[in-house]
Chain A
């Protein structure tokens, strides 16, 4: 189903999507999208949605199932509290991506903004994954409680930092992989930098191959640079704050 979204209000656009999906439509192409919010929200079925244009904030918020492909940049709040499905962005995306995300995948080709992966959580087999191909702003992985965050820093200019400050601040679960070293002063006080072990290799291999396939990248070339991982020092970082 092809929809010309030019000038269509998000409420109407999303209603069309939901109704058609409920009626059995599996493939959607949305043309001329520009700023419509919440695309994919409330469509709790495994459909494919291709977005031509820049979708609005909260793309795939609370999303449960669809596969969304954005053929442009995305804005803030992508995959907010997302439960299942995939979002692939062929460009950059904004701040607060994957907030409270509890499952599914968010793959971004280029850079991401501030507070990406904040409050990400995993539970049993529900493991959310975010991979960004470029650089990230401050507070990457803030309050992270589970899931996998991977930052690649591909095609960086000379001297361009991979991450911002307060990396993993408040992190108490999950894992962050960075392609390249990290300066200790940037680390949140709740995380430590570790070498990869065999388990990590498996995880990285699994998700990165998929990511590289998505964007036509050479997996081996991406893996040539060494990765480090960040883990929380404790799942109870705030034990000694209070008098009982």
Chain B
């Protein structure tokens, strides 16, 4: 059945400028462009990934939205009509990549930070100390000390394992398989150099990355890909992946064509087989089972590493988090509505979950009310776009944030949402060797390091404006946030006052 759906984008080539070097043809991962007597485009294949335009030496290519008008209808939007046509043609589920792109209300965009004026001073972060160092792990409620007769004070409390990060930012879980080995290399190297953490996602850890193990979170997901004791011990943190924001309650599925030799070795499955990781862990059907797996991992790693539990932010996230903390987790990783994915049914990505801002507020409140906030660190993810979002997430109560989409954009991603096709022209979400080669891990790491540095500098400026010189004085300090244009109920859930009060 040939498709009658109009192209989303039109590739415009200025033939006057084009000098027929064919670089665009070679660069397009989606097979949109070909060369006959001149460059021609199969517009329907264009994903607006900009690779061709970025590499055209003459600037002869532009990509436009197809302006073919549908009859106006504020209810039956063209998007819905096109999707129905597509499903009528195929009988399948709509698939997509990256995070929810729908215009849901952003709470981040309706919160503003405070600053000092006169009554207490702001601090100049460029010349005075400004501390972003953060430790992830379970902390006791109180410390015990022993005072010897000569007056020397000694700590007697045995601390649970803590992982140090130099800035309250880590990279989110993205598996090798969903993204390329060069993307993984870039992330691991940058995490190591910036003193933060990268997260393997659920596809195992390639042997080449073992040297960076001090800065790696390894995931143990339902498919248990690449999970053996060597893997678990090549890590700073072990994470049980329960869910992700882009597809709460939905599992992962890496199609067999992406399981090449290297992916196969890393996941420890034969080449070409589908890698299925269904939503539930089959050894966790209830909260006490989660506790059982947490302690199995602690036994397997000799109680030397914090165990994190990653969940999607869903309606009952506060109660679930309380259960996770009580089950023995050291870290709770919350992934909100905007969290990304390599592949998810569109309908799931766009209609399930809650915004991360609300999730942080609800979880932090609940853990405090129960007096167990110290027991866990909270990492928040799912739609952190700039350092302002980082500061707001921390003020709401997160210990650190995780970046997925932002990190990929730093690597070159244009958020075209076609990750699931494996055709990523930027060498990120693909396993095609000729595409993967395009991403230079040295340059990738440098770009990621630059991003982390830039955001950290901005965070220090924000702290300085707030008149505090350590990030722990912002953490959970909702007094330093004000809402604009939020309802009374929203303000109450976020635990903040409206601007002007």
Contacts and interface: CB of A to CB of B under 8 A. Distances in A.
> Quick check: do A and B touch in the complex, using CB within 8 A?
yes
Interface in A42-85: 42, 44, 57-58, 61-62, 64, 76-77, 80-81, 83
Given A42-B301, A122-B270, A123-B270, A37 B296 contact: yes
A119 B222 contact: yes
Contacts of A241: 92-93
A240 interface: yes
Contacts of A77: 283, 292
B278 interface: yes
A81 B256 contact: no
Interface string B297-334: 10111100000000000000000000000000000000
A111 B118 CA distance: 76
A220 B80 CA distance: 65
A81 B292 CA distance: 14
B299 A242 contact: no
A239 B255 CA distance: 8
B90 A42 contact: no
Interface stretch (A197-205, A206-214, A230-238): A230-238
Contacts of A118: 282
Contact of B253 (A62, A115, A238, A243): A238
A41 B268 contact: no
A11 B270 CA distance: 36
Contacts of A96: 282-283
Interface residues of A, number: 47
Contacts of B275: 145
Interface string A116-137: 0011011100100000000000
Given A37-B296, A57-B292, A242 B92 contact: yes
B296 A80 contact: yes
A99 B224 contact: yes
Contact of A100 (B92, B223, B229, B301): B223
B58 interface: no
Contacts of B9: none
* Interface range on chain B (Cβ under 8 Å from partner): 35 or more
A241 B91 CA distance: 8
Contact of A42 (B222, B228, B302, B420): B302
A30 B245 CA distance: 45
B95 interface: yes
Contact of A236 (B224, B268, B274, B297): B274
Contacts of B292: 37, 57-58, 77
A172 B300 contact: no
A38 interface: yes
Interface string B444-470: 000000000000000000000000000
B63 interface: no
B48 interface: no
A38 B30 CA distance: 49
B178 interface: no
A42 B299 contact: yes
Given A37-B292, A119-B222, A119-B224, A172 B299 contact: no
Interface of A: 10-11, 14, 18, 37-38, 41-42, 44, 57-58, 61-62, 64, 76-77, 80-81, 83, 96, 99-100, 102, 115, 118-119, 121-123, 126, 142-143, 145-146, 170, 172-173, 235-244
Interface of B: 86-87, 89-95, 220, 222-225, 227-229, 232, 253, 255-256, 264-265, 268-270, 272-276, 278, 282-283, 292-293, 295-297, 299-302, 343, 345, 420-421
The 6 closest A-B pairs by CB, nearest first: A100-B224, A62-B300, A123-B268, A242-B95, A243-B92, A41-B299
Given A42-B229, A96-B282, A243-B87, 5 more contacts: A44-B229, A80-B283, A115-B282, A119-B223, A123-B268
